[in-house]
Chains A and B, each alone.
Chain A
Amino acid sequence: MWNIRDNWLHPARPQRRARYVIGVRALRVLDPRVLLLWLACVIVGVLVCGDIGLGAGLGTAFLLLTLDRALYPWLRLLRTLAPLAILIVLLDLLAGSPYAGIRTAARLVTLASVGQAFGRIADGERLLAGLTALHVPFSVSFVLIGGARAVPQVRDDLGALRDAARLRGIALDGPPWRQFGGWRRVLVPLLVATIRRGMQLGEAMEARAFGAATRRTPRGALAWSPADSLAALAAVLYLAGCVAGSLALPRLAG
């Protein structure tokens, strides 16, 4: 119908991650429900299995991010979380329970790392299909995925606002009280920008007939394979191992 021409493409920007390691590629083709199961198992392990679950979760995240050659983004995440983690430790230190503070901070870092690792592996549209197959209402799952998609955007906006502050001579480094004044100036515009983006996205979805029909046409059915069964079994075993370990070694159960 609209056969115009095909030969006027701009040279695309170089692909950011042109080569994938085999292991990560294999994970990417897994059924999204298996990835969700894995994610759930790792999170439950971190939350209820004490130091063993914590260590296993951090190890899992580290392994996935290493296979994905994403250690730099991970280090950037850690750098972003560092002030909050330090604050948690300091508050618990003042409350007289420094180890609890360290554990809480470690949980925060581990959960964020796990989220980052799975976020990089999972494909948004396949995750949507997976959640739909699990009978999660589409509007709920779309908001969840949309929220996850917004994280890098918010991070970029924060970076731009931080640069704008520095360009106006506002120092965002140095002692914490000095940083506080600078960050205070940045956070309100960040909130405004985030809300504005949300509204723009809402308008864009409306302009694309979001919700016009009662039923959304599915694109491509999910196919469950033996590999998915194995991966799902591995996830269950992982969690079982964490629980068993925490029971066997109560001192590490937190």
Chain B
Amino acid sequence: MLSGVSFWFPEAAAPALSHIDLRIDPGEMVLLCGPSGSGKSTLLRLLLGLVPQFSGGRLAGNVSVLGIDPTMVAPRLVAAHGVALLAQNPVEGFVADRVADEVSFGPQYLGLEPAEVAGRVDQALQAVGLSGFHRRRLTELSLGQQQRVALAAAMAMKPQVLLLDEPTAHLHERAAREVLELVAELRAQTGIAVVLGEHRVGLALPYIERVVILVDGRVVADGTPENTLTSPFAIESGVPVPRVIRAGIEFGLNPPPLTPGGLASALFSFPWAWTPPPSPPRRGERGSQSGSVSGGPWVRAAGEKALVEQRLGRLPTWWPSHSPLPVGDNRALAQREHRASGGGEGKGVGSPSDGVAREILLRFDHVSFTYKDSPVPAPRDVSLDIRAGEVVALVGSSGSGKSTLSRLALGLLLPDTGRVVLSGVETRGARVSDLAQLGGLVLQNPLLQLLAETVEDELRLGLLNVPLADQNERVARVLERFDLQPFANRHPLTLSEGQRRRVALAATLVREPSLLVLDEPTLGQDEHGRSTLAAVTREVVARGGAVLAISHDPEFVNDACDRVAVLEDGAVTMLVSLTEGQAAVALERAGVALGGIPQASLVLARLGRGGYSRTPAQLATQAARGRV
């Protein structure tokens, strides 16, 4: 229980937490959400006593967890008392080499008998579905399995309160769902209270019954998902409200549905009609904010109230702008799916769907690569062209070779067989520092990409050969574009995680590469960060560049990408254009997670309203088709 809690980090003027009053009962599962820097992690760490005892800082108010004040007792004793914390990246918290040693680490400090420790290890591993993994090395496990080991290690302490700080951040959709499902089932069986800090609100929704929204360290909403996430205030304050709920709000549905199925059925029965826009914008106009939704009034079927101007005029700035898609395009799936292994060029296999032949900026030509300590190649015989003017998403489970492909693209690795050509230059034989003039790569961990002593120097670092005047102009422009002027003279490593990510991206873009490769760009990003990313990709494309984005975020893929390549076991198993009608069906069939709107579109199609939608406007058109 927290009562009037405020907290200031050392030397910080503004409080990280401000006047928090919160009560969490046994057996509750609470979702803690808010924009980046809203205080979620601070609050979770406060409940274990790591804040302020490890962080320093000043605390006001009263905190009580399981009857003790965690700010007055050593965190290890709070942990022993029944509070467990599961961090974002399990690898950074591992203290042992093998699974059983990791899980037993905590119980060994609880003064238990050896038999009790062994029993707890067995129980916890069985609970997370890892029976028999006792002697496996942690490094041999997938990320999802590692997160389960971390969960087992927490559960072996038999906690009464489980604190989860973005436990799914590094996991792809399926693994993330499994971890959350597991947590929910453990809670149901043991009656523990779970506090889940999470950016991926849509994923967590099925498992929680209470949402606490934090903005700037304050609790601004506390209640059921229906009451909190559907409030327009939640969207305005940058809470990562799922696309489906946003769409429901935009459509004026009351209450807005929480799930794609709910949205689809609500639209199915809603008495709307759609008048097609007089002249659809061309593909090249996709950079304009209103490109996808301009023109064409919404009208109620009854005819008495036009809604179109209101709704379309109020579409928020984060809304993706795609060119309108043909609705009801039911051409054969086979025409939409392209096997990259065919390796065609030009307008054939692998070319963008608009049929315009564009310059190939990046070509993987039958590329295979095997790490020295791995028995199998990943990637394996990959052929893929990235052309100017397109954004290609690379999706697939962890270990399928996505990040390796990104390193191959910029020459950080050289293929065992095949060749990689970046803007006409084969990476074999070229220096990485020279290839970096042609393409930019933003890696997952921003901490390991920042090399200079100020943010401004960080941007200048990549412009050493650029004339000073041009350098100044570019740096000023990029600082402004990424809202980094206030931090221009700060050391990059003193910034928050989200700000560091922005600096890393800005430092790459200031070089104006024709090809931008992003490795999990939305990791830990709130809605503002995601919309900035989507806008940046559009800008790169608008100036004739291309983007290759490795992402397990279906909403980002839906918002920002033109094509999706699915990588499984090192091979490209599917390459589809998202602008084509059956893309969602193909991706769903391949087990790839879809964004909320495409999911709703699929449901509508199954209800007899055929078509394919990526944006709310398209979805409404699809829903209204049978009524006009």
Contact call B140/A209, Cβ cutoff below 8 A: no
Q: In whole angstroms, how far apart are the Cα atoms of A157 and B461 in the complex? A: 20
**Which one of A1, A14, A123, A202 lies within 8 Å of B98 (CB-CB)?**
A123
Interface size class of B (residues with CB under 8 A): 35 or more
User: Could you say which of A55-63, A105-113, A188-196, A234-242 contacts chain B?
Assistant: A188-196
Among B414-422, B443-451, B470-478, B579-587, the stretch that binds chain A is: B443-451
Q: How far, in angstroms, from A65 to B482 measured CA to CA in the complex?
A: 50
Q: Is A149 an interface residue (CB 8 A)?
A: yes
CA gap between A98 and B447 in the complex, in Å = 41
How far, in angstroms, from A214 to B108 measured CA to CA in the complex?
A: 11
Interface members, chain B 89-117 (any A CB < 8 Å) = 92-98, 101, 104-114, 117
Q: Which of A57-104 contact B (CB under 8 A)?
A: 72-73
Interface size on A, residues (CB 8 A): 67
Contact for A1 among B50, B123, B398, CB less than 8 A: B123
Residues of chain B within 8 A (CB-CB) of A208 are 79, 95, 105-106, 109, 153, 157
Which chain A residues (107-135) contact chain B, with CB distance < 8 Å? 123-125
Q: Is B96's CB under 8 angstroms from A125's CB? A: yes
Given A1-B123, A166-B412, A212-B80, also A10-B92 (CB < 8 A): no
A216 contacts chain B at the CB level, 8 A cutoff = yes
A206, B111: Cα distance in complex, Å: 16
Q: Which of B84, B96, B142, B461 is close to A168, meaning CB atoms less than 8 Å apart?
A: B461
Q: Which residue of B lies closest to A146 (CB)?
A: B95
Interface residues of B in 499-520 (CB under 8 A from A): 507-508, 511
Interface: B577 (CB within 8 A): no
Which residues of A in the span 210-237 have a Cβ within 8 Å of any Cβ on B?
A: 210-220
- Tell me which residues across on chain A come within 8 A of B397, comparing CB atoms: 10
Query: Please, which residues of chain A bring their CB within 8 A of the CB of B376?
Result: 14
Q: From B30-38, B127-135, B253-261, B354-362, give the one contacting chain A.
A: B127-135
A3-B127, A185-B451, A185-B452 known; A10-B432 Cβ under 8 A: no
Cβ-defined partner of B449 (8 Å) among A73, A123, A164, A169: A164
Q: How far is the CA of A236 from the CA of B117 in the complex (A)?
A: 37
Bound together, the chains give a CA A172 to CA B112 distance in angstroms of 53
Q: Does A251 contact B (CB under 8 A)?
A: no
A13 to B371 alpha-carbon distance, docked (Å): 13
Contact assessment for B433 and A169 in the assembled complex, using a CB-CB cutoff below 8 Å: yes
Interface residues of B in 341-390 (CB under 8 A from A): 372-376
Chain B residues within 8 Å of A14, by CB:
374-376
Q: How far is the CB of B429 from chain A (nearest CB, A)?
A: 14
Chain A residues with Cβ below 8 Å from B144 are 10
The reply to whether A166 and B433 form a contact with Cβ atoms under 8 Å apart is yes
Once A211-B76, A213-B109 are accepted as A-B contacts, the answer to whether A193 and B448 lie under 8 Å apart by CB is: yes
Chain B residues contacting A161 (CB-CB under 8 Å) are 448-449, 451
Q: Is the CB of A203 within 8 A of B433?
A: no
> How far apart are B544's CB and chain A's nearest CB, in angstroms?
21
User: Which has the most chain A C-beta neighbours within 10 Å: B77, B139, B448?
Assistant: B448
Residue from A10, A170, A197, A199 whose CB has the most chain B CB atoms within 10 Å: A10
Q: How far is the CA of A112 from the CA of B124 in the complex (A)?
A: 39
What residues on B are CB-neighbors of A6 within 8 Å?
A: 126, 129, 131
B493 contacts A189, C-beta separation under 8 Å: yes
CA distance A185 to B113 in the complex (A): 51
Q: Which B residues lie within 8 Å of A171 (CB)?
A: 431, 433
Check A124 against B84 for contact (C-beta < 8 Å).
no
Answer yes or no: B85 CB below 8 A from chain A CBs: yes
Q: Map CB proximity to B onto A1-25 as digits: 1 under 8 Å, 0 otherwise.
A: 1111111111111111110000000
B186 at the A/B interface (Cβ < 8 Å)?
Answer: yes
Q: Compute how far the CA of A161 lies from the CA of B94 in the bound complex, rounded to whole angstroms.
A: 22
Q: Is the CB of A160 within 8 A of B50?
A: no
A199 to B50, CA, bound (A): 11
Q: Is the CB of B127 within 8 A of A206?
A: no
Q: Is the CB of A207 within 8 A of B461?
A: no
**B432 and A216 contacting across the interface, CB-CB below 8 Å:** no
Contact B443 A163 (CB under 8 A): yes
Are A157 and B448 CB-contacts (below 8 A) given A169-B436, A203-B50? yes
Chain B residues lying within 8 Å of A252, measured Cβ to Cβ, are: none
Least distance between A213 CB and chain B CB atoms (Å)? 4
- Give A166 to B462 CA distance when docked, in angstroms: 10
Shortest Cβ distance from residue B103 to the other chain A in the assembled complex, whole angstroms: 10
**Which residues of B lie under 8 Å from residue A8 when comparing CB positions?**
129, 178
A204 in contact (CB, < 8 A): yes
Instruction: State whether the Cβ of A179 lies closer than 8 Å to any Cβ in chain B.
Output: no
Contact in complex: B108, A164 (CB < 8 Å)? no
A243 within 8 A of B: no
> Which residue of A193, A196, A218 contacts B114 across the interface (Cβ within 8 Å)?
A218
Listed A/B pairs (16) with beta-carbon separation below 8 Å: A13-B399, A16-B373, A72-B372, A167-B440, A169-B437, A169-B464, A192-B493, A204-B92, A207-B48, A209-B76, A209-B79, A210-B76, A211-B76, A213-B110, A214-B111, A219-B104
**Partner-A contacts on B (CB < 8 A):** 48, 50, 54, 74-77, 79-80, 84-85, 87, 92-98, 101, 104-114, 117-118, 123-124, 126-131, 136, 139-142, 144-145, 153, 155, 157, 175, 178, 182, 185-186, 189-190, 372-376, 397-399, 407, 410, 412, 431-434, 436-437, 440-441, 443, 445, 447-452, 461-462, 464-465, 493, 507-508, 511
For the complex with contacts A73-B373, A207-B79, 18 further pairs of A-B residues with Cβ separation under 8 Å are A2-B126, A4-B129, A8-B129, A125-B96, A125-B98, A125-B101, A166-B436, A167-B410, A169-B436, A185-B461, A204-B94, A208-B157, A209-B76, A215-B111, A217-B113, A218-B108, A219-B108, A220-B114
